[in-house]
Structure 1
């Protein structure tokens, strides 16, 4: 069974280097040659590049894209593994904090991306990011609301949620679980990205 991975905002496919999987860099991240228009169009671009009957793993914004891909192109996705994923990021944080985050990103640029990476991951991460396009993607992600679409997910879904996640709060992961029928909810000690993922994910994959 093939595993295809989608990284979160501010990172790249390098974040999955310890895992035996296929992956790609999202637009404006890493070495991507994808052109960004909107998240729905990006889900279509992803579907064109993945084999059929794969398990799609998405982390953070990559989780939202995995969900969109599974909904729009169900023949391509046999199952979902969602890490640190929320039904609607715009309601996961309060509006004041979101505005402050976007303002700091505009003002501080790459230095703030570096700060965000330290918040989101448990080890140092370096790769290129093109900020103007990445900023637009982030705005679209904040405004994306999957709440009313999630009950239509039919693929087997496993949700991984960090108990101390500062990016996607625990309550958001729990809301995702309650909206996807028959999904499995697994918690892990830590924040937005699980330590030991290279051992955890293969075990989960065997259940599909």
Structure 2
């Protein structure tokens, strides 16, 4: 399915098909974060009378820590998703959203992956975050979890023209809820290190929007070209980094809304 670009710096997408805006929008955050990061997105959804739900990763925010197991995390999140929802996952949450789309396809009306990679770590044939960068975070997490989270926060906005403002906003939102459980943080990094869903993604057969920040240093835009064989659409936000719903909240939801509405012109 091809992407219809509007006359916009952001290339607002459109999906030709079912009006997805009638379904609940369910959002899953990334590593070390919590559902509060979606507060601005929630406000826009409520203004458009769209049901909006956030799900915390196990051991994050108010969510209890479940078994330290990949399948357990996937099942735990999936159990909280209403039937026929649009599932939006950001970063690690996006990787898990892809896994849910593969395991529970009949539960979802659509999938939105935001700055999310089927394989987080780079290798000789795949652009991504360097393995030594992730290894450093794993080591630092054992010594000082809070400082490690703050450093990871800084990476979310790296490359953004308003990086300082974005980092400040993210930090305020993250601190508004309980700190993640150390074991959840440790296992989250393990998932980022080990998960590789690339071969399985060809089995995803539903409306799928992949959102990329052109300036993203964690999930580089070069990955998009490696995924062109997949169904779905790609949307590149020109001046965004790893957290486009923080740096460009109105544009971000406007683009999602157009895609969900099946519109043929920009909002």
Normalised by the length of structure 1, the TM-score is 0.90
SS at match of 1:160: strand
The structure showing larger relative contact order (alpha-carbon pairs under 8 Å, at least 6 residues apart) is 2
Task: Give 4+ residue runs of structure 1 displaced > 6 Å after superposition.
Answer: none
How many angstroms does 1:84 deviate by?
0.7
Q: Once the 2 structures are TM-superposed, how far is the Cα of residue 147 of structure 1 from its aligned partner?
A: 0.7
Q: Distance in 2 between matches of 1:164 and 1:5?
A: 22
Write the deviation string for residues 118-142 of structure 1: whole angstroms up to 9, x where unpaired. Answer: 2214233224112223112211231
User: Which of residues 187, 200, 204 is equivalent to 2:252?
Assistant: 200
Within-5 A mapping of 1:23-172: 23-91=54-122, 92-121=128-157, 122-124=166-168, 125=171, 126=175, 127=177, 128-172=179-223
Partner of 2:161: none
Superposed CA RMSD in Å reads 1.8
Q: Which of structures 1 and 2 has the bigger CA Rg?
A: 2
Distance 1:13 1:173, change over 3 A: farther
The Cα shift of 1:168 comes to 1.4
Compute the TM-score of the two structures, normalised by the length of structure 2: 0.72
Distance 2:55 2:217 in 1: 25
**Structure 1 CA distance for aligned equivalents of residues 133 and 248 of structure 2:** 30
User: 1:37–1:107: structure 2 CA closer, same or farther, 3 Å change rule?
Assistant: closer
1:19 CA drift (Å): 2.0
1:190 aligns to what? 240
Counterparts of 1:70 and 1:78, CA distance in 2: 10
Shift in Å at residue 49 of structure 1?
Answer: 0.9
Structure 2 segments unaligned to the other structure (5+ residues): 1-22, 43-51, 123-127, 158-165, 261-267
